[in-house]
C-alpha cells in the first residue's frame, strides 16, 4: 500500500485531467515484472508516472483517464493461488473501491474495451517513446476505434511526456515529507559510513556499509546503483564496479541515495580514506565546495533553473585558474568552456519519484524558472584524470559534492544538510 492516501492520487488525477483536450484520454501503463535470469525476476518497482497518478503498485495494469476526470484502471483479477506465491493482490474490485477509481476491469479485457472507450475521441495522450510495445497497442486501438466510426474517425496521438514531467516538478506537501525522510536516511547513512571507514577497506566494503545503513533506517532499496570510487576511479562519472581496494592517502567519492515511499535521495560526498585531506586534495575540494555553496544560493524563485550551472562554471573556472590548471583569461575560459577539461557534467537534475525526474530544462523554448516546491540536486565537481595537462601531483583526484535542495519562498532548503560538506567537518567526523 502506498505511503500516500488514495485521495491524494484522486486529486492528482483531477488536476491532470484539466490539462487534456476536451473529449480526450490519457493512457498510461504500469511497469512489468522483469526477468533477471531463468525464472527469477528483479524486485518489482512501479513506473513512476503510473504511480504518480494511481498509487497502484502492481504490474500488468493500465490507467485510462478522461478529460472529464473519469478514471478507469485495468488490472489483474484477484488470484488466491498466485497470492500464495507472490503475496496480496488488490484485484479488480479492490482496486476500484480501495484506490478510488471510477471504473475497474480485468486487464484481459483491455484489448476489447479500450477501442470502444476511445471511440469518437479527439485525442489520445500517452508517454510516446517510453514503451514501444504499449505505443503499438495504442496505435492498434486508435485504428480499431477509427474503423468503428461510420465516417472515418481521426483520433490524434499526442505525447504527454513533457507535460506530465512538468506537472511532477512542483511537489505537494505530502511528497515533500517523503523526500525529507528519504534524504535524512541517506544523510545519516553517509555520516555513519564516514565515521566508521578505515584504511584497508575496499570499495565493495563501503558499498555494503551504505546499503546496510539504508536498510537499518527504513529504506530497502537504493535509488540507483551506488558509486563508490577510490583514487582515480573518482574521475569516472558513472563508475560502479565498486570492486577495487582503496589505498591509504586516496580520496573516495561516494554517490549514494535511497528510496523512501518511492521518493529518491541523491547525495555525493568525497572524503579521505585515512581521515585527512592532503594539501592538493584540500585545495581542489575547497573550490568545489565554494561552487556548490554559490550554486545553491542562486537557486531561488524566479531564477532560471540553469543559473546554478552558470554560477558553478564561473567559480570553478576561477578556482582552476588560481590553482594554475588554466592560464587563459576568465573571458576566454568561459567562452571556450576550457573548464570542461576538469568539470565535464551539469550542475544537477530534478529529483522526486525518480532520481532524475523526467522533465527538460526548457518549456516552450524558454528556460524553466524556479518555483516554490521544486526540487533538484546541486553537484559540482572537479576531476583530474591521467590525461590532464597538469603536474602529476594533482592527477587522480576526483571530487564531487552533491546535495538535494528544495526551492522555498525565501530561497532554498538543503534536504541533505545533515551530512557535513566542509573538509574540516568531514575530518572531524572521521576522527571522532
Question: What is the H or E stretch that residue 322 is in?
Answer: helix 307-322
- The SS3 of residue 269 is strand
Beta strand 397-400 pairing with 381-384: antiparallel
Rg (CA), the chain: 24
**Angle, vertex CA 25, rays to CA 24 and CA 31, nearest 5:** 160
DSSP, res 305: T
Q: Which residues are catalytic?
A: 39, 238, 255, 266, 345, 349, 356, 379, 383, 400, 402
- The SS3 of residue 299 is coil
Contact 427, 277 (CB under 8 A): yes
For residue 112, give Cα distances in angstroms to 25, 109, 117: 17, 6, 9
Distance CA 382, CA 200 (A): 25
Tell which residue, 374, 369, 378, has the closest CA to residue 179. Answer: 374
Question: What is the H or E stretch that residue 144 is in?
Answer: helix 132-148
Neighbours of 411 (CB within 10 A): 13
Contacts of 225 (CB under 8 A, 6+ apart): 240
Burial class (CB in 10 A: 0-12, 13-18, 19+), 173: exposed
Contact 218, 191 (CB under 8 A): no
Query: Hey, what's the cell of 323?
Result: 590553482
Strands (E) in 311-419, as ranges, are: 362-363, 366-367, 375-378, 381-384, 397-400, 403-407, 412-414
Query: What is the number of residues in the chain?
Result: 432
Distance CA 20, CA 40 (A): 40
Query: Hey, what's the cell of 203?
Result: 570499495
Amino acid at each position: 500500500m502506498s505511503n500516500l492516501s488514495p485521495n491524494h492520487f484522486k486529486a492528482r488525477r483531477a488536476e491532470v485531467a484539466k490539462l487534456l483536450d476536451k473529449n480526450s484520454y490519457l493512457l498510461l501503463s504500469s511497469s512489468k515484472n522483469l526477468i533477471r535470469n531463468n525464472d527469477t525476476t528483479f524486485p518489482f518497482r512501479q513506473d513512476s508516472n503510473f504511480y504518480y497518478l494511481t498509487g497502484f503498485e502492481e504490474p500488468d495494469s493500465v490507467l485510462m483517464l478522461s478529460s472529464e476526470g473519469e478514471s478507469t484502471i485495468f488490472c489483474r483479477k484477484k488470484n488466491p493461488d498466485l497470492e500464495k506465491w507472490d503475496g496480496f493482490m488488490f484485484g479488480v474490485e479492490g482496486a476500484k473501491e480501495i484506490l478510488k477509481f471510477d471504473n475497474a476491469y480485468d486487464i484481459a479485457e483491455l484489448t476489447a474495451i479500450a477501442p470502444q472507450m476511445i471511440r469518437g475521441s479527439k485525442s489520445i495522450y500517452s508517454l510516446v517513446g517510453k514503451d514501444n510495445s504499449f505505443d503499438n497497442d495504442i496505435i492498434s486501438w486508435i485504428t480499431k476505434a477509427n474503423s468503428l466510426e461510420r465516417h472515418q474517425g481521426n483520433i490524434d496521438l499526442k505525447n504527454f511526456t513533457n507535460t506530465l514531467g512538468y506537472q511532477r516538478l512542483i511537489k505537494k506537501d505530502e511528497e515533500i515529507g517523503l523526500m525529507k525522510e528519504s534524504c535524512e536516511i541517506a544523510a545519516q547513512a553517509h555520516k555513519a559510513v564516514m565515521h566508521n571507514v578505515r584504511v584497508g577497506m575496499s570499495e565493495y566494503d563501503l558499498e555494503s556499509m551504505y546499503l546496510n545503513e539504508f536498510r537499518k533506517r527504513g529504506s530497502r532499496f537504493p535509488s540507483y546503483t551506488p558509486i563508490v570510487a577510490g583514487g582515480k576511479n573518482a574521475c569516472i562519472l558513472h563508475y560502479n564496479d565498486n570492486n577495487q581496494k582503496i589505498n591509504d592517502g586516496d580520496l573516495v567519492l561516494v554517490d549514494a541515495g535511497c528510496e523512501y515511499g518511492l521518493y529518491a535521495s541523491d547525495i555525493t560526498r568525497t572524503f579521505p580514506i585515512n581521515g585527512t585531506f592532503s594539501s592538493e586534495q584540500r585545495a581542489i575540494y575547497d573550490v568545489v565546495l565554494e561552487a556548490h555553496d554559490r550554486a545553491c544560493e542562486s537557486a531561488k524563485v524566479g531564477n532560471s533553473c540553469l543559473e546554478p550551472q552558470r554560477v558553478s562554471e564561473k567559480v570553478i573556472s576561477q578556482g582552476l585558474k588560481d590553482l594554475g590548471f588554466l592560464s587563459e583569461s576568465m573571458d576566454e575560459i568561459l567562452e571556450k568552456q576550457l573548464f570542461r577539461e576538469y568539470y565535464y557534467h551539469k550542475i544537477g537534475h530534478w529529483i522526486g519519484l525518480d532520481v532524475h525526474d523526467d522533465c527538460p530544462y526548457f518549456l516552450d523554448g524558454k528556460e524553466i524558472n524556479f518555483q516554490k516546491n521544486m526540487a533538484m540536486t546541486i553537484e559540482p565537481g572537479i576531476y583530474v584524470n591521467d590525461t590532464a595537462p597538469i603536474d602529476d601531483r594533482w592527477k587522480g583526484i576526483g571530487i564531487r559534492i552533491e546535495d538535494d535542495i528544495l526551492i522555498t519562498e525565501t530561497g532554498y532548503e538543503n534536504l541533505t544538510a545533515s551530512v557535513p560538506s566542509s573538509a574540516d567537518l568531514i575530518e572531524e567526523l572521521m576522527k571522532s
